[in-house]
Amino acid sequence: MAKPKIHEISKQFGVPNKEILEVLTKYNVTGKSYMSSLETHEMDILLEYYTQKNDKGEDLAAFLRSQFAVKEEAPAKEAKKEKIEEAPSEEKISRKKEVRYVDTRTNAVDLDQQLKTEKAESLVNVQIKDTETSKQKIKKNKNKNQNQGKKNQQNEEIMEKKQKEKKQEKLHLLIPDEITVGDLAKELKCSPVEVIKRLMTLGIMATVNQTIGFDEASMIAEDMGAEVEREIIVTAEDKLFNDTPDDEKDLLPRPPVVVVMGHVDHGKTSLLDCIRKANVTATEAGGITQHIGAYTVTVDGKQITFLDTPGHEAFTAMRLRGAMVTDIAIIVVAADDGIMPQTIEAINHAKAAEVSIIVAINKIDREGANPDRVKQELTEHGLVPEEWGGDVVCVEVSAKQNIGIDNLLEMLTLTAELKELKANPNRQAKGTVVESKLDKGRGPVATVLVQNGTLKAGDIIVAGTAVGRVRAMTDHKGKKIKEAGPSTPVEIIGLSETPEGGDTFYVVDDERAARNVVEARKQKIKDEKVKAATKVSLDNLFDVLNEGAMKTLNIIVKADVQGSVEAVKQSLEKISNEEVKVRVIHGAVGAITESDVTLAAASSAIIVGFNVRPDAGARSASDTNDVDIRTYRIIYEAIEEIEAAMKGMLAPKFREAVIGHADIRDTFKVSGVGTIAGAYVTDGKIVRHCQVRIVRDGIVIHEGMLSSLKRFKDDAKEVASGYECGMGFENYNDIKVGDNVECFVMEEVKQA
């Protein structure tokens, strides 16, 4: 069937082409012209439009029915009129057609009332629909909020669970002996502020970069719930040297090592000579021991090793280097002289080394010998003889007459048995260097004492900064031997250089590694010289105590008379408090000597001089070892200054600076002036109107001002070292030849 064109419809029914095209365009049918043919759905649009408009509708409907054979559903009576809804702009073909209702009822119906009712119902339905939509939106939002709340709650539960797991999962930390606060905080995964707060509760004020010890760090870490284990840093030396402890079943008895000390000329070497049955004294210049010797003697089938020293200085020097080589100390005291200054020093050194002490009261065969007086004097220094209820063995001997020597040896062996000295001979050797020297023919020669294991010829040995292979080994008699067990002294050659007395030696397997360790040690020594180690002084005492580096303040007291020594000692020991204990480790009469400085360096002590001055050797040694020497004229000044240092209040504004020394070689009495000293400047310079002190035999006898200084007959502003001068002292004339004049000034110390 041919499709009608627009102009045909327009002509047939008198409808303008333009109107038909506008109707079609209104319902989204575009691209048409009056010559265009109409499709079926386009005809439906026109049918619906003109039927509802009731304008030529019947004629158009008839025409369309004739063209498309559209079957009429019902007779057209009074059709119900409904407005057509506008089609959606996007839908053309699939647009839902409105159904046209035709009323076929016989009863009359009020259509207007019905339309109003239907309209009202539709409005109600729309309101209900909107209400339901709003309810759905509210419900949806409510559900959304509930879901969001549930989600947040789930997140919180997850976080709590993670935190619980974190708490249950303890941190396992490896903390070294020293660690900075910042590094500890990183290990604990917390803020450094938290660590600093906890340190403050322990009374420790620290910064982020400050180093704390293992004990403090472990307390903080454990308090924060971490498990702590000490980190053992294995160095090249640890890998090379075998320092593992021995099994008890591998230990065997070893001979004791005995040191002989005492006052000069009290018979130390003569006693050892009597024991060894060899005339050693005759070979020494002037009968005074010139070197450190180590000897082995056999008593009733048991060996005893003796260290014969020129005094306690060498013994202390070895202890300063950490060498604890001796087990028993024999203090030799002459029965006719009694306790002397060097005897007291020897006693104090032996006590500091914590070795067993046996007192040999020598020269009992001499006229005026009084052993009981010696025993009484010993009690004054803390040594109570056994027969007086104490624990110190006292043996009366005569080295010259060979009296009591067997009893002394018996006491030695008995003391050694009580100490149960043992070592393991079946391992690589370890010991201490007793002395060393450079021989023109043999090179570096070292006398060593084997303390554990067995030293064999050909072993690779490391001693301090020396390394080498043992090419030859001899005993104390000069006999070549192939091996030496525990407590055996031997002389070895083959080292690269001479080690220092007190150095520990090890036998190792790897020579290349040994040389690397030695080079590292040399570099470390250079670095330490650049960065000097902190020594204890009154100026830094408070800082050292705060760092926990020292709990006991060791003091050496030297004074002009024994009464002053005791008074200063008692007064200083009374100022001990809960945090630090003041301990006087040595007190004696006389000038401050190099020996005192050596003991102070070994014991980290401060030297307090009361009315005495240090000699030249002591001044040089104190500078080398960085030992603090304090001298006073009034005992209360010493007490107050040390108390202030302990409390951190020491802030001196002026300090004494010694600028020169002079020896008085002659005296001249000038009428109206007084006594003038003819002096020679030994060091530094003497300045006019400076402060001076006159020292006689190490004792300060006067302190005042220099009233005049002349060079020949002219006044001089200053006299340098190596020149002579005349000196007058303000209000003092009791000067003698041999007196020493110390010139000093008070210089201002800049406050930090």
Q: Which domains does the chain have, with CATH numbers?
A: 172-230 (1.10.10), 254-415 (3.40.50.300), 439-524 (2.40.30.10), 541-651 (3.40.50.10050), 655-748 (2.40.30.10)
Q: What is the pLDDT, as a whole number, of residue 112?
A: 55
Q: What is the pLDDT, as a whole number, of residue 291?
A: 45
The fraction of the chain above a pLDDT of 70, given in percent, is: 74
Q: Which residue has the higher pLDDT, 625 or 283?
A: 625
- The helix or strand, by DSSP H or E, that contains position 592, with its residue range, turns out to be none
Q: Which residue has the tokens 């002190």?
A: 693
CB burial readout 89-107, b (16+ within 10 A) else e: eeeeeebeeeebeeeeeee
Amino acid, res. 705: M
Segment 85-98 mean pLDDT: 44
CA nearest to 240, candidates 513, 16, 26: 513
Instruction: Decide if 107 contacts 78 (C-beta within 8 A).
Output: no
Segment 668-685 mean pLDDT: 90
Q: Which pairs count as long-range contacts for 469-473, CB under 8 Å and 24+ apart, including other chains?
A: 469/494, 469/511, 470/494
Instruction: Decide if 676 contacts 727 (C-beta within 8 A).
Output: yes
Q: Which residue has the tokens 């930090």?
A: 752
Segment 33-38 mean pLDDT: 79
Q: Are strands 581-589 and 552-559 parallel, antiparallel or unpaired?
A: parallel
CB burial readout 683-706, b (16+ within 10 A) else e: ebbbbeebbbbbbeebbbbbeeeb
Q: Which residue has the higher pLDDT, 658 or 278?
A: 658
Residue 640 has pLDDT above 90, yes or no: no
Residue 737 has pLDDT above 80, yes or no: yes
Residue 180 has pLDDT above 70, yes or no: yes
The average confidence (pLDDT) of the chain is 78
Q: Are strands 252-253 and 422-423 parallel, antiparallel or unpaired?
A: antiparallel
CA nearest to 738, candidates 687, 701, 689, 686: 701
Segment 131-135 mean pLDDT: 54
Residue 663 has pLDDT above 50, yes or no: yes
Please tell me the least confidently modeled range out of 42-56, 279-293, 380-394, 614-628.
279-293
| Alpha-carbon distances, residue 203 vs 209, 226, 546 (angstroms) | 18, 21, 10
- The helix or strand, by DSSP H or E, that contains position 438, with its residue range, turns out to be strand 430-439
What the block records as the tokens of 19 is 């109107």
Q: Per-residue confidence at 113, pLDDT binned at 50, 70, 90?
A: low
Q: What is the pLDDT, as a whole number, of residue 147?
A: 63
Q: Which residue has the higher pLDDT, 533 or 673?
A: 673
3-state secondary structure of 369: coil
Segment 611-617 mean pLDDT: 88
Segment 562-573 mean pLDDT: 79
Spatial separation of the C-alpha atoms in residues 96 and 118, rounded to whole Å: 21
Residue 131 has pLDDT above 60, yes or no: no
The fraction of the chain above a pLDDT of 90, given in percent, is: 18
The residues pairing with 507 across neighbouring beta strands, listed in sequence order, are 461
Q: Per-residue confidence at 452, pLDDT binned at 50, 70, 90?
A: very high
Instruction: Decide if 521 contacts 465 (C-beta within 8 A).
Output: yes
Please tell me the least confidently modeled range out of 133-142, 194-203, 270-279, 606-615.
133-142
What the block records as the tokens of 642 is 């040390």
Rounded to two decimals, what is the model's pTM? Answer: 0.50
Q: What is the pLDDT, as a whole number, of residue 162?
A: 59
Amino acid, res. 323: A
Q: Per-residue confidence at 534, pLDDT binned at 50, 70, 90?
A: low
Instruction: Decide if 669 contacts 684 (C-beta within 8 A).
Output: no
Residue 750, φ and ψ in degrees, nearest 5: -70, 130
Instruction: Compute the CA torsion angle 312, 315, 320, 326 (nearest 10 deg).
Output: -140
Q: What is the pLDDT, as a whole number, of residue 547?
A: 58
Q: What is the pLDDT of residues 577-609, one digit of tens each?
A: 766 788 888 888 888 998 899 888 888 889 999
Q: What is the pLDDT, as a whole number, of residue 571?
A: 81
Residue 244 has pLDDT above 60, yes or no: yes
Q: What is the pLDDT, as a whole number, of residue 479?
A: 87
Q: What is the pLDDT, as a whole number, of residue 93?
A: 40
Please tell me the least confidently modeled range out of 212-221, 472-481, 574-583.
574-583
Most confident of the following: 203-207, 400-404, 636-640: 400-404
Q: Which residue has the higher pLDDT, 243 or 451?
A: 451
Q: What is the pLDDT, as a whole number, of residue 199?
A: 86
Residue 725 has pLDDT above 80, yes or no: yes
Q: What is the pLDDT, as a whole number, of residue 751?
A: 47
Q: What is the pLDDT, as a whole number, of residue 85?
A: 42
Q: What is the pLDDT, as a whole number, of residue 535?
A: 62
Residue 62 has pLDDT above 90, yes or no: no
Segment 362-388 mean pLDDT: 89
